[in-house]
Structure formats: structure tokens, C-alpha cells
Amino acid sequence: MLTTLATLVAVSLTLQQGSGSGSGRGQGNSDTTVAVQQGARLDVNNFGGEIVVRTWNQNNVRVRASHSSRSRVEVSSSASTVMVRSEGRRGPPSIVDLEITVPTWMGMSLSGTYTDISVEGAGGVVTAESVQGDIEVSGGTGNINLKSVEGGVTLSKTRGRIEVNSVEGDIVITEAVGDITVETVDGDIILSKVDAANVEVNTVDGDITHDGTIKNGGSYRFATHDGDITVVIPPSAYVSGSLSTFDGEFDTSFAIDTVRAGRHRITFTVGRGSNPARMELETFDGDIQLRRPGEVEIEMPERGKGHGDWDRDHDFDFEFNFDLRHITQYATRYASQYAREYAPKYAKKYSADYTRTYRRSFKNAWRTH
């Protein structure tokens, strides 16, 4: 078996045609299991649909897929990697739902375009990336890197070096241990029950809440342009910090030492001791609050619906009702930050398929007029 795994083996999943609903298209369902060696990783890319990953105590990877006859799913394995790809038979693939079960120890890299990603019980490195979709991960150790352009991100019960990014979506991290870097443009950020010595949190339009340990010698920076900042300070913490707000108020539920360093800037000290934690709090249009444990009621943001509103009996026909004003605003605001990363990656892969699809669509629309 180990000798077989050392050689790349492509496993083409057999599609079982079923009676389609609505449009009459056939449905495909496939189920494939491959054996893996300790240390192998999972690599998944799905254009649209879901990626759901769960874990078990077997050294096997099981891939179950559900999709229309327009798509196919390919699984290939080697000694180091199990790769799962969704592909279209003609043009881009339709919606493909993947349910994958992997060994608990297995690291994974998951990506998609119109894709919701969910991971439960991971015990290794987790990288998850979606252009338009929510990401929810429970578990993971080592480097944890989660990114969605238009979607919320939730991370829990993890340990390692944590980096989470979104452009348009809320970010929630709970029960996490390790250094944390979080950034979103349009969304709230909540850190609850976290144990970190270094925390960097930034959002442009959203509130920030941090409820966790404050360690001596640690570094904590929270910044938002349009939103409130609430930080829970444990009674035993020794903090030396600064805060600034142009159009907001500063409020604390306990006594602190403060010195006004400018018209809109204050330096403060909480507690006594040596080697204080360094804290920076900055908002342009919002309030800053310091609270004791138990004084903050954290309201978790409502998760987005992802692609739950899509008609799952139909393929991607690109009949979207775009709001041009929204697109213009979105592109201007975010293009400079993300174009370099996403444009080369997805343009090469999908440009030919899109060109053919749009050409046909425009020709048909022109003929009807």
C-alpha cells in the first residue's frame, strides 16, 4: 500500500445519473476513499458550493460529492498530498457540494470562489480561502490562515499562529491560544476567551471587542475608523497604553491612571508591577470602553446565508442582477488591496470559460432584441 501511495494515482469519480428536478438536469453523486500516510495533507479547490471537512481516527480520506451532470470531481493522491478538484465538463462547474472526512492529524488547504467552507475537529494546519462565502473552522494547530473577500469568518478551539482576513464580513474568534492578527474592512471583530501575548486587530467600518488574557510584556493593538472598541481588562493585568478618538468618548468601569497627551489622545496605566503589557486603542468615530470580566455581554453576529438562497437545481448561468453602483464602490475600495493577489490566480483559470459563456449570453440577448 505504501508503495502505491508513493506514486501519483488519479481517481476519476464515477457519476451516477439521476432524474433532475426543476430543469430536468441529471444529478451526480460519488463516494471515494483513499489511504494516506502520516504527514500527508489535503488540498481542495471548489468553484461553487460547499466544502465540509470532518475528522476521524482512520488513516483514510473519504470524499463524497454531490453535483449536476455538468460537473465532475477528481481525486488524486500521492504520498504527500490528497488533491480534490471540481471541474466543469463544458465551461465553469455548477454547484458542487463536497463532504470530506480526514484523519484528525491531517493539515489542509481549502479554497473556492463561490464557496462556503466548514471544518470541524481539525488537528493540523488549516488554510481556508474563499472569494464569496463564509468560513467556519473548529480546531487546528500550527499556522491557521483564514481569508474571505466577501463573507464572515468564525474560528474556535484552535492553537497556533492565527491570521484571519475578510473584506466584507464579520470575524469571530473564540477559545483560541496563540498570536492573533485579524483584519477586515467592513465588519465587526470579536475575540472571546482568547489567550494571546500578541494581538493585532484592524477594521475600517466595524466594532471591536476583545475578552481574553492580557499578558505581561504582551502587545495589543486595536484600531477602527468608524466603530466602538471594548476591551476587557483582567484585575491582575498590568497595562501601559494609549488611546485616541476624534469623535467619541472614553469610559472605564474601574479606576485607572491617565495623562492627556493631546487633544484627542490619552495615555493610561492599569495595575502595578513590572514588564507591563503594551496596549494601543484607536478609533476615529467611536467610543472606547475598558471593562472588567463579566461586564461585557458579547452578541455574536448573525452568520451570512452563503449560497443558501441559490436555486440548487440550476447551474451557474451567470444571470446575476448586479447593482452597478455597488460594484463600482466595491471595486474602487478594495481592488488595490486584493487585485494583485486574486486577479492572476483566478483570471488564468477561469477567463477562457467565462469568455465563452458571456459571448453566448450576449449573442442570445442580442438576437432576442
Q: Mean pLDDT, to the nearest integer, of 306-321?
A: 38
Identify the pLDDT of residue 23.
Answer: 30
pLDDT of 362 strictly over 50: no
- Helix and strand numbers (H, E) in the chain are 2, 25
Question: In this model, does residue 101 exceed pLDDT 70?
Answer: yes
- The β-bridge partners of 240 are 269, 278
Asked if pLDDT for residue 27 goes beyond 70, the answer is no
pLDDT tens per residue across span 122-166? 999 999 999 999 999 999 999 999 999 999 999 999 999 999 999
Which backbone phi and psi does 230 adopt, to 5 degrees?
-125, 125
Statement: residue 57 has pLDDT above 60 = yes
Residue with cell 454531490: 66
Express each pLDDT in 329-355 by its tens digit: 444 444 555 555 555 555 554 455 445
What pLDDT does 291 receive?
96
Share of residues in the chain with pLDDT > 90 (%): 63
347 Cβ contact list (under 8 Å, min separation 6)? none
Using DSSP, state whether 367 is helix, strand or coil: helix
Q: Which phi-psi region, left, alpha or beta, contains residue 239 (left: φ > 0; alpha: ψ -120 to 50)?
A: beta
- Give me the pLDDT at residue 13, please: 32
C-alpha–C-alpha distance, residues 268 and 293, integer Å = 19
Domain ranges of the chain: 1-17+27-169, 325-364
Tens digits of residue pLDDT in 256-284: 998 887 777 899 999 998 999 999 999 99
Is residue 197 predicted with pLDDT exceeding 80?
A: yes
Q: What is the DSSP string of 28-46?
A: EEEEEEEE--TT-EEEEEE
Average pLDDT over residues 215-219: 97
Using alpha carbons, select from 222, 220, 221, 226 the residue that is nearest to residue 248: 226
Residues 6+ apart with CB under 8 A from 256: 268, 269, 270, 290
Q: Which of 245, 243, 231, 229 is nearest to 284 (CA)?
A: 245
Residue 318: closest CA among 147, 66, 149, 113: 113
pLDDT of residue 322: 34
Residue-level pLDDT at 360: 45
Report which of residues 306 and 7 the model is more confident about.
Answer: 306
pLDDT over 60 at 286, yes or no = yes
**pLDDT of 9 over the 60 cut:** no
C-alpha cell at 333: 475600495
- Please give the helix or strand (H or E) that residue 339 lies within, else none: helix 324-368
Confidence bin at 89 (pLDDT 50/70/90): confident
- Average pLDDT of the chain is 81
Side-chain half-sphere of 43: how many Cα atoms within 13 Å? 10
Extract long-range pairs of 235-238: CB within 8 Å, 24+ residues apart.
235/271, 235/292, 235/293, 236/271, 237/270, 237/271, 237/277, 238/270, 238/271, 238/272, 238/273, 238/274, 238/275, 238/276, 238/277
Residue 361: band (very low, low, confident or very high) from pLDDT cuts 50, 70, 90: very low
**How confident is the model over 302-331, as a mean pLDDT?**
42
